[in-house]
Chains A and B, each alone.
Chain A
Amino acid sequence: MACALLTFTPWRLAKRGRVADSLQEFYRGKMDIMTRIKISLFAALLAGTALTAAAPAIAQTRAETLRHVTGAAINTLDPNMPGSTREAFGLSLLTYDRLVSFGRKQLDGKWVFDLDTIRGELAERYEVSPDGLKIVFHLRKDAKFHDGTPVTAEDVKWSLDRAVTARSLAAGQMLTGSITKADQFRIIDQHTVELTLPQPDKLALPNLATVYPVIFNSKLAKSKATAEDPWAQEWLKTNTAGSGAYIVESFKPGETTILRRNEDWKRGPGNSQAHFKRIITQTIPEASTRANLVERGDADIVIDLQAADAADLEKKGRLKVISTPQYNAITFVSFNTQMPPFDKIEVRRAIAAALPYEDMFKAALFERGKKLFGAEWAGGKAPDGSTFPIVQPLKTNLDEAKRLLTAAGFPNGFETTFSFNVGQAGTAEPMAALLKESLGKIGIKVDIQKLPDAQMSTLINEKKVPFFTEGIVAWLPSMDYFYRNFYIGPIRWNYSSLNDPQITEWAQAARFEGDKAKYAAYGLQLNTRHFELMPQIPLWQPSQDAVMATSIEGYTYQFHRQIDFRDLSRK
């Protein structure tokens, strides 16, 4: 409709031009009065019809469309594909349903996802057995895939089998919830599926709400499977077979993705539908262009602006800026605790005492985030054990730093490198410059290395970077999950290569601890020991600045750090 009207415009413009010419003649007084009246009437009529015909129709479709701009790209329609981008995860949340999804809660006045409330999505409801070993999911009887076939227990079983068996990203994630084998899923009847766990696991249900265990239309997918590719992974990269709130209308990787609402989908909170009829996600690599677009109202929402632009737009006050500290993420300065001189605790603590925290926070983030430094811990003990990270008792104290460095046997300091990847340069560069200056004062000479992203990942994986900055994110931000995934074992995410028997023991024990008080007691020990060992210096949790038109409502910070467009509506 809009397009038909738009193609109408050149004619309209041409007519307007002609009318203008006639009006000039009109003023030159070369026409009789009747012609003049006719012409002015005609002009008014023309302008009127053109406006009334075009404006409401366009405005309406525009209001029902959400235009989202981002610097990154969607590279697959199947979130399980190795190499999937975060934006691809975000898309899969819309095109596919999972059995369950996260609820939301308020944190300092901002809506964020809630790990502790799990509500049904494709499952109408679920029951956990008293011993915590069996979870039974009752599927919605009215749920249909995009092609109209009903969602059955068989589809669920096939999809979850795929998650744990296929060579994809899912298996690694699912095992953090004790879900590892296909025989853990059992079909009870056409609309009931049972999951059996080897031990009660707090993260089993939350894992089913992440982006990997999506429910596929198994009949459709199986028809596209081949002998080499039994799980139809190749086909699902560029096609969807889901039941989600949106249907892919066009998918141009690295350019645009256009989604159309699935009118049958009523699986939002309170059985609601998604609000927007169309969602356009467009890749705009230049951050300042994204800021211009949203400021001029051409784009409706953006979440990856530079901190400076977001601060500027917030000051201007014409847009809604929701700035949520990413409470499941941490930016830190990390040491490789196996590489000299950083194998010495005193060296690590000396550096921790020498960093100019406040200045770094200002220069890198424009103070847009939550500080993880500057706390007071009575007696050096962590005040809270139920969560991670907690604010650390870190302060800039150059005398103390100098003393510690001397105690470590480096009275005259040493030389080292400090690395970060190009992708983070916006925040890491100013931070690194301040770090270099400050460490110079205690005799440590720092050479800053800015590495291409792939090279940095490779070096980190090979544990060859002595001193660097990075960020980590946990989809399921429970205290033990952080310790188990980032501070234990020879895995890549153990950035500091920490190998401390105590931390390992407590973190593993906390995983299956059902009692809240005992869990928090483990947490106290872990948080205290973590600070004492100082494998990393936690700096802050950067904010996710969601900048949007004032008419957009319902924005919620999600675990995958993307927008869940099903949350949003327009006033």
Chain B
Amino acid sequence: MKLGATANRAARRFISSLPALFGVVVFTFLLMRVLPGDPAVFFASGPQAGPEEIAMIRAQMGLDKPVPQQLLLYLRDLSQGQLGRSLTTGQPVLVDLRNRLPASLELTLTALLIALVAAVPLGVAAALRPGSLVDHIVRFVCALGVCVPTFVSGLLLIYVFYYLAGLAPDPTGRIDIFMSQPPRVTGFLLIDFAIAGDWEGWQAAARQLMLPALTMALFVVAPLARMTRASMLASLGSDFVRTARSLGLSRRKIVVTYALRNAILPVLTIVGIVFSTMLGANVLVEKVFSWPGVASYALDALLSSDYAPVQGFVLLMASIFVLVNLTVDVLYGVADPRVSVE
């Protein structure tokens, strides 16, 4: 019964987000064409680069047609599952995104996991003794994580762990270049290596993942820890915790079962937002660690006014955002049964 209600709600949410997705597609499409910079001119690099060559590229990109017609053609391609071809990589955008999305997801999920494992206990510890030394240390760590830009902390980590100490592998992508890739099943190297049973490879991939994931995690620990602390404080000061205390329940049961479970709801919301932001905004981390993810792909395309990849990327991000929100919604129901009663 409860499950049915949750699924129902998820489905309704999903359908209501479709117009928004369509809006995003049209908006990005128009935005790209309004931006200054003509891709045909940029990619025409021959010695003559005369009007003919530019016209040739324009025709190749379909830019010789009027914008409304271009939009209709693009929507038609979309309905057939085509996202166009990237001039920067020379590949169909769909293939590029399919190859690169697992890299971004693997990095982001690992970073999020590290951040959560660090942030929730930190937040709880700070909330249990507000104003204490622990609280101040947590506040300091959070402030540091937020104010050091990711590319600085990334370069710093590389300098210390790769260049000076030689502990980390060279920061050049997902796996040591001299190692062979596992057979592709999911695109997530850690999972694919595990499926192949190649634990040496798994270890290598995990080592490669460590620094970039840490860099990203450092940056998002702050919002998560602060949110955990705030909502834990509210939760600890509420009536049911006082009741639980007066009933003489164990401290562990009060903090973990009652206070934390009730405090986790706003944290979940933040996790959803943080995840979507990280996926798109970790372009600096991807650049610093040569991580073949979607964000750096989109940035390269944007700089050279390569329309198709940017549009594909925005659509992908919007879809992921919708999915993540759905998941968070479902998790609400799990964390707090009252939510499903709308």
Contacts and interface: CB of A to CB of B under 8 A. Distances in A.
Contacts of B292: 252, 254-255
B41 A457 contact: yes
Interface string B175-215: 00111100000000000000000111101000000000000
B288 A172 contact: no
Q: Is the interface of B mostly helix, strand, loop or mixed?
A: loop
Given A67-B177, A286-B290, A82 B88 contact: no
B222 interface: no
B44 A82 contact: yes
Contacts of B89: 73, 75, 253-254
A308 interface: no
A149 interface: no
A175 interface: yes
Nearest to B176: A6
Interface residues of B, number: 57
A284 B39 contact: no
Most chain A Cβ neighbours within 10 Å, of B43, B57, B198: B43
B170 interface: yes
Interface in A384-400: none
B171 interface: yes
B290 A457 contact: no
Contacts of A67: 177
B172 A173 contact: no
Given A167-B56, A238-B90, A289-B158, A282 B296 contact: no
B177 A82 contact: no
Interface in A439-470: 452-455, 457-459, 461
Interface in A51-87: 61-62, 65, 67, 69, 73, 75-76, 81-84
B17 interface: no
A454 B200 contact: no
Contacts of A69: 172
Interface in B152-180: 155, 158-159, 162-163, 166, 170-173, 177-180
A458 B41 contact: yes
A69 B318 CA distance: 34
B303 A7 contact: no
Interface residues of A, number: 61
B46 A172 contact: yes
Interface in B81-98: 87-91, 96
Interface in A1-46: 2-3, 6-10
B43 A82 contact: yes
B45 A169 contact: yes
A179 to B, nearest CB: 13
Contact of B177 (A3, A237, A256, A295): A256
A36 B167 CA distance: 32
Interface in A303-347: none
Contacts, number: 161
Contacts of B39: 454
Contacts of A125: none
A458 B42 contact: yes
Contact of B99 (A9, A169, A252): A252
A453 B57 contact: no
Given A253-B91, A485-B47, A10 B290 contact: no
B79 interface: no
B332 to A, nearest CB: 39
A7 B201 contact: yes
B221 to A, nearest CB: 24
B88 A7 contact: no
A119 to B, nearest CB: 23
Nearest to B162: A292
A285 interface: yes
B178 A289 contact: no
Given A83-B57, A282-B290, A6 B179 contact: yes
Given A73-B88, A286-B287, A289-B158, A454 B49 contact: no
B38 interface: yes
A62 B288 contact: no
A172 B49 contact: yes
Interface in B250-265: none
A2 B213 CA distance: 28
Interface of B: 35-39, 41-50, 53-54, 56-57, 60, 87-91, 96, 99, 155, 158-159, 162-163, 166, 170-173, 177-180, 198-201, 203, 287-290, 292, 296-297, 300, 303-305
29 contacts: A6-B179, A9-B200, A10-B200, A10-B203, A61-B178, A67-B177, A73-B300, A75-B88, A76-B90, A82-B57, A83-B45, A169-B46, A253-B90, A253-B91, A253-B96, A254-B88, A254-B89, A280-B177, A285-B296, A289-B158, A289-B171, A292-B158, A292-B163, A296-B163, A452-B37, A454-B305, A455-B305, A458-B41, A461-B38
